[in-house]
Amino acid sequence: MKYFFFFLLVASVNAAQLTDQQIVACTILGEARGEGEAGMYAVAAVIRQRANERKISFSDVCLQKLQFSCNNNGVQKNLLDTKQAVYAMKLAASINSIDTNFIKNSNHYHAKNVKPYWAKNKKPLVVIGNHIFYKL
């Protein structure tokens, strides 16, 4: 168990060590690398939607506390070594042209196997892969 904890410490890095594009790509990968291109695109669209609504940068959206569970213990830079990283980096580089209509302008989502408090009595707008999307 202590070796696993050590791995987490090594794999997560201070966001200052990454470019904005890498932070966005790591968030996409951490949230949806197993969901295929549609799932990764959908997460990128949520990042764009939130940045537009909150008038903050894409990387700031990704780094906001408790917004993306994959970043709760730091950005996982090792995700950039996965085979899906090429596509995630392309999405991050072109995030200004991501079509948020793909997710019906949703700004929140969760995996099907969790039931977050904020989703109670909210109507899902779209389901893509293992994620359910909402506009809060």
pLDDT in tens, 62-104: 999 989 888 877 888 889 999 999 999 999 999 999 999 999 9
**37 inside domain:** yes
The pLDDT of residue 9 is above 50: no
Residue 66 in any domain: the answer is: yes
Range of the domain at 26: 2-100
Q: Quote the number of domains for the chain.
A: 1
Provide the whole-model pTM: 0.87
In a domain, 70, yes or no: yes
Is residue 75 domain-resident?
A: yes
Is 117 domain-assigned?
no
Residue 134 lies in a domain: no
Q: What is the CATH number of the domain that holds 31?
A: 1.10.10
CA 7 vs CA 1, 23, 77, 109: distances in Å:
10, 19, 12, 28
Asked if the structure places residue 124 within a domain, the reply is: no
Kindly give, in sequence order, each residue whose CB lies less than 8 Å from that of residue 63, ignoring residues fewer than 6 positions away: 15, 23, 71, 75
DSSP state of 123: P
Residue 79 bridge partners (DSSP): none
